[in-house]
Structure 1
Amino acid sequence: MAANRSNAEILVEAGAFDNYGGWTMDSQFEFEMGSPYLLAHGNGIPVADATTIISIAEPGHYNIWVRAKDWVPGDHPGRFTLAVNETALDTEFGANDRDWNWQLGGRLHPPTDARPPPDYVPRAWRRRLRGLPEEPVDAGTFDVVVVGVGVVGTAAALAAARLGERVVLVHNRPFLGGNASVEIGLRPRGVTGPLIDEISERHPGGDLYAKDLLDADPNATVFLEHTVYDARLVRVLILPPLTPEMLEVDARFASLLLLSLIAPGSRF
């Protein structure tokens, strides 16, 4: 949610609410949304309200904008409303047959300007309104970086860690495993092998042993509910097959080919 006037803006992210109520935080569409958001998965039954308290430093006339998505245009199963100081706004959000967009929810005293926030939610705008640091925190140096940790990514990371490489896994979900995670529960079939079988064992609650295996390995670091949005190639090292010397190429003049890992013979 954003509130703006001609010379002031306030950004309130649903993921930072004090109380989620019956809602759950999700990050699958973080790039389209601009930040993690809340989902009400009530199977047709309204869930308990999510609530928060904000402080408005500058009094004035504000527009209230809410960024939402109509999940099934025509049926609007994810529709919701917003209340400010226990006064419900008239607008029904998530019911306008549109993908992610800003909806004008109402006005706290009639303002003169009703322009919506940036539609693509630039990160610089979000950092400024949230007071987030401009420079990233140094999280360490690693030999292998695995992004998007399904079963295959977990296997690649665990294999590299057991070979002595310093490995970091970055995953934007709260559980490892992709379709095999406790969120969906499928198990890899077909030709898997001992490492995939080891990872795919489950706790009584349904979660994979994958996280336990990685936590037990001193070479592995796991960042759950984190998203990679930028990367910088520093250098490329080349080892010729017939000569002993190693070559270094300045990354500014290198072309990087990214290969998608698959598990031959495995299927879900």
Structure 2
Amino acid sequence: MNKQLKTSTFFLMMLCCFTRLLGQDRVLVEAESFQQKGGWVIDQQSFPVLHSSYLMAHGMGRPVKDAKTYVRFPKKGTYQVWIRTKDWAPFPVGPGKFKVQVDGKPLAPTFGESGDSAWKWYSGGEVRVDKDSVELVLQDLTGFNGRVDAILFDATPKIEPPNELTALDKLRNELLGLRTNRKEMGNYDLVVVGGGVAGTCAAISAARLGMKVALIQDRPLLGGNNSSEIRVHLMGDLDKSYYPKLGRIVRELDNGDPGNGNPDAKEYGDARKFAIIKDEKNISLFINTHVFEAEAENNTIKAVIGRDIETNQEKRFTGTYFADCTGDGTLGFLAGADFRMGRESKQETGESFAPDKADDFTLGTSNLWASLPVDSATTFPETPWALPFSDEYHIDEEKSDWQWETGFGNFNTITEAEQIRDHNLRAIYGNWSYLKHHKPEKYAKRALAWVAYIGGKRESRRLMGDHILTQMDVQEGKVYPDATVTATWTIDLHFPDKKNSLYFPDEEFFAGTKHVRVAPYTIPYRCLYSRNIHNLFMAGRDISTTHVAFGSTRVMRTCGMMGEVVGMAAFVAKKYQTSPRGVYQKHLPEFMGMIKGEEGGVSVQPKYMQQ
């Protein structure tokens, strides 16, 4: 479908959406559904908390182009306008200012500078509507991450719309018809939720074995942390595997090693990943689809529900088997899978690296950034709302690396993902402003080229399987009968950098680590399926490990091999109409034969590699 036809179709969809509101007195516009985004971007990272995506003006200190859309009204008349937004950095007034225009006329208030960090509705005053449809415009004033969730036009007496989540969900469902317009997307042998490296490899592995696969990703790109939205390079070795044929799909996706936070987006191989998926006739790809609900019965998943992060169209997928490759363990959590989050105690696990007491500490989230040289001196605004830097403490770097990290138990990496990202932005912009104003000899002719607004997460939920990998498994190299993925990364557990803690106590954004080297070891297949949800696999950083062991298993080449294994296990499970556990209990020799690539196994190589 060409771009013009896509735009026309989307415009008609939006008009149809509002046509059903004839006879009603309220019109709700979800900001992420604007037809022309301009320079605004869609952020869905806080969907578990907000139950919605939103638009954000991510301009790195330069105002972005206006976002525009047309709104159809059920009747002419006077409407009260409400804008749902927040001041993301109220110190005391934050930087995310923006204006709203209705039919070419700006509303009186300036939004995003209230000094209130909570998401809520703000009054925009009244407007007179004398047309069937009017243009709605979001005008960014700063380029510093102003954000809009929704705009409500209400012709009834002035009553503030609800901020309580249940009531807000009811309002959205009523005015947008989310549930009544839900689409059935079909039935699949394997539904893979999460299109990072692990999920993409799982989908390819299963599809090449003849399974009908749905691959669902909540962003516009595949690759997760390895995509150009986050830009983390692939780590972990493939050439030290006990099973040398494992990792071949990972190699196909691998676009080389550009390092972390490279300003050149092409280096991260987005097009390569899409091309490989496109060539797989058994894969149906659904990008921009956030799974927020699971239908489960008798500890078995029947279907998952996703919502398009741009159009808000809800989609239902049914399947025989499901794979949670979300990183956050989202699908497992929704289905009621057993999980852990945080650190186990030394008494519980017997691990020497575990703390004396269990706690909520998790590895943090990074937002990487990079600057580039420019021909002439550039300016950057003062940032009184950002973290304060000084001659005594600042970070003298032209680009970031993994150390720019927030979390460490001070934030919940799932429910506070927005706050973590915003804290990272306050650190990045504050430090860059200091460098520009106080080190002109080095930074005058440099400009920010790229700042990630999607957080690169390391740790959140870990879904529990029939085996929980431990520090002893990793360090002693135990080889179980169901040994599959060979892992090689160190036990790499991050903690706040001591100097950063000294200057920003309880607000750390910079990490340190101590690598504990290990010999290549194997991960049992029993870590890759849920112990209590009968048809749920997992691959990626949410597999069944302790916090300590997770420090080694979490890197992406290793996670990709997990996906390859899950694809093979799903094939065996389908062949014998059994569960993921049944593969281990009843069909382990055949399954392990596939892992080993023994003669008689089914190849999961692409045709050009089988020659």
Tell me the TM-score range normalised by the shorter chain. 0.7 to 0.9
User: In the aligned structure 2, how far is the partner of 1:135 from the partner of 1:234?
Assistant: 24
Q: CA deviation at 1:200?
A: 2.2
Change in CA separation of 1:183 and 1:81 when aligned onto 2, cut-off 3 Å = same
Residues 108 and 125, structure 2, Cα contact 8 Å, conserved in 1: yes
Q: CA deviation at 1:169?
A: 1.0
2:72 to 36, 45, 55: 55
1:84-132 CA deviation, whole Å, 9 max, x = no partner? 2332223222223313222222233797423224542654532331345
Paired AA for residue 540 in structure 2:
I
Q: Report the TM-score when normalising by structure 2.
A: 0.37
1:51-84 CA deviation, whole Å, 9 max, x = no partner? 2222333344432111123332326232211122
Paired AA for residue 254 in structure 2:
S
User: In the aligned structure 2, how far is the partner of 1:235 from the partner of 1:164?
Assistant: 28
1:166-203 CA deviation, whole Å, 9 max, x = no partner? 21111110000111012122221123433222222279
Paired AA for residue 171 in structure 2:
W
Residues 168 and 220, structure 1, Cα contact 8 Å, conserved in 2: yes
Q: Alignment identity in percent?
A: 35
Change in CA separation of 1:142 and 1:236 when aligned onto 2, cut-off 3 Å = farther
Match of 2:253? Answer: 199
Change in CA separation of 1:204 and 1:111 when aligned onto 2, cut-off 3 Å = closer
Match of 2:236? Answer: 190
- 2:60 is aligned with 1:43: yes
Comparing 82-91 and 147-156, the one that deviates more = 82-91
Match of 2:224? Answer: 178
Paired AA for residue 80 in structure 2:
N
- Aligned to 1:172, what secondary structure does the other structure show? coil
Match of 1:262? Answer: 540
1:116 to 135, 145, 161: 161
Residues 150 and 177, structure 1, Cα contact 8 Å, conserved in 2: yes
Residues 11 and 130, structure 1, Cα contact 8 Å, conserved in 2: yes
Comparing 115-124 and 70-79, the one that deviates more = 115-124
Comparing 211-220 and 58-67, the one that deviates more = 58-67
User: In the aligned structure 2, how far is the partner of 1:133 from the partner of 1:259?
Assistant: 28
- 2:234 is aligned with 1:217: no
- Aligned to 2:296, what secondary structure does the other structure show? coil
Write the mapping of 1:1-268 to structure 2, written as runs, cut at 5 A: 8-74=25-91, 76-96=94-114, 97-108=116-127, 112-120=157-165, 122-132=168-178, 134=180, 136-192=182-238, 193-201=247-255, 204=266, 206-208=268-270, 209-233=272-296, 256=533, 260-262=538-540, 265=553, 267=555
Comparing 10-19 and 107-116, the one that deviates more = 107-116
Unaligned runs of 5+ in 2: 1-23, 129-154, 239-246, 257-264, 301-334, 336-531, 542-551, 557-611
Match of 1:242? Answer: none
Residues 104 and 116, structure 1, Cα contact 8 Å, conserved in 2: no
Q: CA deviation at 1:146?
A: 1.2
Structure of greater relative contact order (alpha carbons < 8 Å, 6+ residues apart): 2
Q: Report the TM-score when normalising by structure 1.
A: 0.78
Change in CA separation of 1:146 and 1:77 when aligned onto 2, cut-off 3 Å = farther
User: In the aligned structure 2, how far is the partner of 1:137 from the partner of 1:85?
Assistant: 33
User: How many matched pairs?
Assistant: 247
Q: CA deviation at 1:223?
A: 0.1
The RMSD of aligned alpha carbons is 3.1
User: In the aligned structure 2, how far is the partner of 1:148 from the partner of 1:99?
Assistant: 29
Paired AA for residue 195 in structure 1:
I
Hey, which of these two has a bigger chunk of helix by percent?
2
Larger radius of gyration: 2
Residues 40 and 67, structure 2, Cα contact 8 Å, conserved in 1: yes
Paired AA for residue 222 in structure 1:
L
User: In the aligned structure 2, how far is the partner of 1:138 from the partner of 1:159?
Assistant: 25
Change in CA separation of 1:26 and 1:130 when aligned onto 2, cut-off 3 Å = same
User: In the aligned structure 2, how far is the partner of 1:54 from the partner of 1:142?
Assistant: 37
Unaligned runs of 5+ in 1: 1-6, 238-250
